[in-house]
Amino acid sequence: MQTRRDFLQKMTGSVLALSALSSFTEKKYEGPVLRVAIMGLGSYGTRVAEAMKSCTKAKLVGVISGTPSKIKAWQTKYGIPENNCYNYENFDRIRDNPDIDAVYVITPNGLHHNQVIRVAQARKHVICEKPMAVNAKEGQEMVDACQSAGVKLLVGYRMHFEPHTLEIIRMRKANEFGKVLFFQGLSGFIIGDPTQWRLNKALSGGGAMMDIGIYSINGSRYMIGEDPIWVTAQETKTNPVKFKDGVDETIQFQLGFPGGATASCLSTYSLNNLDRFFLDGTQGFAELLPATGYGPIAGRTHKGEINQPVTTHQTVQMDEMAGILLEGHQPVVAVDGHEAVKDLKIIDAIYAAVRSGQKVDLHL
């Protein structure tokens, strides 16, 4: 007969064996590692660098910055060799550096177009932050530049690798919500310092829509699983001093999808507590609350709470992107330049709908 002690001993043995196995498998990774240089050592660049410390398949090996003191600090902190440090004038020379595979562009939106094209011309893969560009035309030029240089272009859509999000996508594909007919996306926060680049049209390309509204745009597409065919939009501005011409404070927009679903979304720089996705179908619903913040992401469906692991989004994103760039993996939801151009076409159409007051057709 098995005693409690036998059982505990066996359990301890298995736990030890399991942890030995997992540390063995961790050490065992001998596959390709993506060697990344980060361009733009600001707040999000720092978050990505910290998260990359826990990556298995991606490693921070270089920096591109206009501030020599930041370069020194990052060299010390992340063990970056002198040969892998560049500034905005000389980074084209990265072409001659065999120790860097990809550059992650994490600068203000309005700079992405030029910087991504220069990285492509230096024959390195590019990862670019969202929004990839400030309009679809620039976005398409970036896609074309990467294609003709023979490098890949990915965009920092970290939610495409987030487990709660992926579980809802799995359920939708398995028809567990029935016919999906409605999505609501709420994206917003109160923006502080009025002098920051996010409120400067030349650097931001717009306002809240470019920065945070894009989460509801992109989210409506991966939650519903289709691309929209029309958009309507309405803008309100309560503070024209802080939010100058071309910098949107609040826009509500609606999207129509080919299968009959509609999306109703809010993008704003003037309210907190807005980070929620809600998907409704004829047989069930899904809610993510919060839906796109750094986490922990939480959610529920008509079947109950979504139990999925809480991850550091940027760690998972960079490991998965290494798999895409080096091993040709296919993500569940696309993270390439074409995907980003679709979002930019929707943003262009939202701005056009605000100006005209008319419904705008989309051809994605």
Stretch that binds ligand NAD, among 107-115, 145-153, 216-224, 319-327 (CB under 6 A): 107-115
364 touches 227 (CB < 8 A): yes
Q: What DSSP string runs through 136-179?
A: HHHHHHHHHHHHHHT--EEE--GGGG-HHHHHHHHHHHTTTT-S
What residues are paired with 232 via a beta bridge? 254
Q: Is 359 a catalytic residue?
A: no
Q: Is 156 in the site for ligand NAD (CB under 6 A)?
A: yes
- The nearest distance, CB 227 to ligand NAD, in angstroms, is 21
Beta-ladder partners of 264: 184, 254
Fill in the per-residue mask, 42 to 81: x = in contact with ligand NAD (CB under 6 A), - = not in contact. xxxx--------------------x---------------
Give the containing element (helix H, strand E) for 103.
strand 102-105
Residue nearest to ligand NAD (CB): 42
Q: Scanning residues 174 to 233, which ones bind ligand NAD (CB under 6 A)?
A: 197, 203, 211
Q: Let me know: does 70 contact 94? Beta carbons within 8 Å.
A: no
Reading the block at residue 142, the tokens are 């970036």
Binding flag, residue 13, ligand NAD (CB under 6 A): no
Tokens linked to 3: 């005693």
Question: Nearest approach, Cβ of 9 to ligand NAD (angstroms)?
Answer: 47
Tokens coding 212? 């945070």
Q: Which of 57, 124, 130, 152 is catalytic?
A: 130
If the CB atoms of residues 197 and 285 are measured against ligand NAD, the closer one turns out to be 197
Binding residue for ligand NAD (CB under 6 A) from 40, 207, 213, 219? 40
Q: What is the C-alpha separation between 180 and 283, in angstroms, rounded?
A: 9
Q: Which residues bind ligand NAD (CB under 6 A)?
A: 40-45, 66, 106-109, 111, 129-130, 156, 158, 197, 203, 211
Which residues are the active-site residues?
130, 215
